Amino acid sequence: MVQLLVRHAALLSAVTLVLTAALGMARGKHSKTIGDSGVSAQMLFLADPDHVVFMDKAENNPLSINGHPAWVARYQLSSGRKQAMDVRTNTFCAGGAPAGDGRYVTTGGTAALGYKSQDGGFALNIYDPSTNTWEQNRHGMQTNRWYSSVEPMADGSVIIVGGQNAGGYVSTQRTNEPSYEFYPSKGEPVHMGILARTVPVNLYPLTFLMSNGELFVQSGRQAILWNLDSASEKALPNIPDVPRPYPSSAGVAMMPMTPDNGYKQTILFCGGISLGRKAAWGALSGPAVSTTDKVASTSCQQIDPLGSGQWQASDALPEPRVMGMFVHLPDGTLFFGGGVKKGTAGYTASGKGPGKPVGQSLGDDPAYTVQIYSPRAPAGSRWKAYGSLLNPRLYHSSALLLPDGAILISGSNPNEDVTTAHWPTSYAVDKWYPPYYNMPRPSSDQLPTRLKYGGKSFTIDMARAIADMNIKSLDSAYVRIIRTGFSTHGVNWGQRSLQLKSQLSVDKRTLVVQGLPNNPNLFAPGPALIFLVVDGVPSMGVFAHIGPKGIPAAVANSMSKFASLNQVSAEADEPHVTSTGEGGGGEKDVSISKRCTKDMPDSELVQRDHVWEAVAANVTAAALSE
């Protein structure tokens, strides 16, 4: 009997192996694992042509530095080598974006959670790719922000929007931070009503700088245009179907701007999920209803905020998706991959509770198929499946365009700390290869490494550029610039794609390419990749700087305010102790001080809190459908 059972078990495992192999063949088409990230890739950005930086929360990662696990690592694309970096504040669900001087600003995080970490709530850490160093400002923000969004501005600064002052699954009126501030600072935080009105689905609000200098903001199901000069909003219609910010976590991107469409800025939202009613989203401790058995939305809606200002349905997603990631490809299409088909972003530390987590994950059924979105294709034919991911990319994954035109995708860790249990923490660094990847490419050696607004045109000798290609017509040749941005949680701040105006000479030997349109709102200053595209096939991307090299003096002057704050002590904070009782626990429920008190009188602090709480009380009463 025992023998029979053993044999039976052996047969079963053989069947399982065959099945896995069959599935494995389908999975990972046009994908490959190229390395190991050392820290789980919750956040990701391109530092220079050969390095990306992975950022994570403070947890038990295998890569270590100065006697503690690292949560930031610089990864060399050509060698797979990784360098642990000693960022000391807990960058748990931080925001981030490139600034106009080419440095990357990361904002906020949450309380110290051991591993020698420090409270990251007020932190503003700046990575300088030219020196490969971090400037760490533990009190770099005036406000405590977890899940803030960051948007590059036309003057080289960044705006830091929203978030909450405590860790949790969704925001509450008590923990919400409905304001924005800037780096370098332009004064005190300014209240933004939409962020107060859209609790609880308002974290990582979806922000885009528009060509007229206004900020488009989508939060909950609401949308506005925010005038930064008058600090006032213009309401736009609610987005149909489902709320889109975290933890509904739709994929979102501004579609490519082209001379043909007058650099129109259309923003596309795909997926997300409805839990039916607002109360179902629960509170800091987690959702009030089961999430993992709920199917995500396939809804795709787009808006041209400065044009019609109306929502318009685009082709629905071929399959439901939460946390799908849009990444611009140099041929004018977009990669859409990763995420899950059921549930939401987030996790439950205890693995129990009304959310019915799978393992600890509040999302389940990962999506493997990669979809390519063609914004210019006729309605009904914009999605096309192409290949698949090798590994599941659930909560806390990230994806980025690389200079070679492939997509780097990594992360996945819907867990309180590193685990091998289902769904396990992933360190696999994978690449997905788009259709053009192995084709002969135009050369990139005539592309500039610097582009100015309204600057001089430049020329490309096309015979030289296509020497390795077999091209019949050059009529489709153009140059595109892409900001790869800062990727995390299905959003990517600063990601933009803009095609430069160009014309072939009469003899078709030279492509004359105009400089950038003279409007930094279209494409804020900072780093970008430049591609020459011929017949839909891009060259390698040239790492370039857009606009003036530094932050303008007027803005930079206020940076001196931060000079005295440019420090973190070597001391770790006491780890924040949390209760992990059953039935609870979204992410860490950690309440921390609401304001950076460093140079702010107490009286003012109290006063401002009262104003904001009064506003919050008004909106709590308003009935909101999600």
Which stretches of the chain bind Cu ion, using CB under 5 A? 93
Nearest-angstrom CA–CA distance, 390 and 432: 9
Helix (H) or strand (E) holding 325: strand 325-328
* Structural tokens at position 264: 């129109």
Quick check: helix, strand or coil at residue 383? strand
Q: How far is the CB of 408 from Cu ion (least distance, A)?
A: 19
Beta strands in 192-324 (DSSP E): 206-209, 215-219, 222-227, 232-236, 251-254, 267-270, 300-303, 311-313
CB nearer Cu ion, residue 42 or residue 266: 42
The answer to whether residues 123 and 138 touch, using CB atoms and an 8 Å cutoff, is yes
The count of other CB atoms within 10 Å of the CB of residue 562 is 17
The answer to whether residues 485 and 495 touch, using CB atoms and an 8 Å cutoff, is yes
Q: How far is the CB of 349 from Cu ion (least distance, A)?
A: 13
Q: Report in angstroms the alpha-carbon separations of 30 from 108, 389, 437, 607.
A: 36, 8, 10, 57
CB nearer Cu ion, residue 63 or residue 93: 93
Cis? peptide before 184, omega within 30° of 0 = yes
Nearest-angstrom CA–CA distance, 268 and 382: 13
- Closest residue by Cα to residue 272 from 225, 310, 233, 219: 219
- Closest residue by Cα to residue 490 from 281, 322, 313: 322
Q: How far is the CB of 344 from Cu ion (least distance, A)?
A: 11
CB nearer Cu ion, residue 146 or residue 373: 146
CB nearer Cu ion, residue 110 or residue 539: 110
CB nearer Cu ion, residue 55 or residue 513: 55
The answer to whether residues 222 and 233 touch, using CB atoms and an 8 Å cutoff, is no
Q: SS3 letters for 6-60? A: HHHHHHHHHHHHHHHHHHHHHCCCCEEEEEECCCCCCEEEEEECCEEEEECCCCC
Q: How far is the CB of 16 from Cu ion (least distance, A)?
A: 33
CB nearer Cu ion, residue 93 or residue 327: 93
CB nearer Cu ion, residue 93 or residue 209: 93
CB nearer Cu ion, residue 93 or residue 511: 93
DSSP string, 487-536: EETTEEET-EEEEPPEEE-TTSSEEEE--B-S-TTTS-SEEEEEEEEETT
CB nearer Cu ion, residue 127 or residue 395: 395
CB nearer Cu ion, residue 93 or residue 565: 93
Q: How far is the CB of 323 from Cu ion (least distance, A)?
A: 10
Q: How far is the CB of 46 from Cu ion (least distance, A)?
A: 21
The count of other CB atoms within 10 Å of the CB of residue 420 is 7
Nearest-angstrom CA–CA distance, 252 and 246: 12
Helices (H) and strands (E) in the chain, counts: 6, 43
Pairing relationship of beta strands 450-451 and 542-546 according to DSSP bridges: parallel
Q: How far is the CB of 409 from Cu ion (least distance, A)?
A: 17
Residue type, 573: D
Q: How far is the CB of 489 from Cu ion (least distance, A)?
A: 6
CB nearer Cu ion, residue 35 or residue 95: 95
Closest residue to Cu ion in the complex (CB): 93
Q: How far is the CB of 67 from Cu ion (least distance, A)?
A: 26
CB nearer Cu ion, residue 353 or residue 586: 586
Q: How far is the CB of 411 from Cu ion (least distance, A)?
A: 10
CB nearer Cu ion, residue 93 or residue 217: 93
Dihedral Cα 57, 63, 66, 69, nearest 10 deg: 40
Q: How far is the CB of 145 from Cu ion (least distance, A)?
A: 13
- Would you say the C-alpha torsion 434, 53, 483, 307 has a positive or negative sign? positive
**Each residue of 104-113: b (16+ CB within 10 Å) or e?**
bbbbbbbbbb
The answer to whether residues 65 and 85 touch, using CB atoms and an 8 Å cutoff, is yes
Torsion angles phi and psi, residue 513, rounded to 5:
-110, 125
Nearest-angstrom CA–CA distance, 113 and 572: 10
Q: How far is the CB of 493 from Cu ion (least distance, A)?
A: 14
Nearest-angstrom CA–CA distance, 201 and 283: 10
CB nearer Cu ion, residue 96 or residue 526: 96
Q: How far is the CB of 530 from Cu ion (least distance, A)?
A: 32
CB nearer Cu ion, residue 249 or residue 298: 249
Q: How far is the CB of 347 from Cu ion (least distance, A)?
A: 9
Q: How far is the CB of 363 from Cu ion (least distance, A)?
A: 12
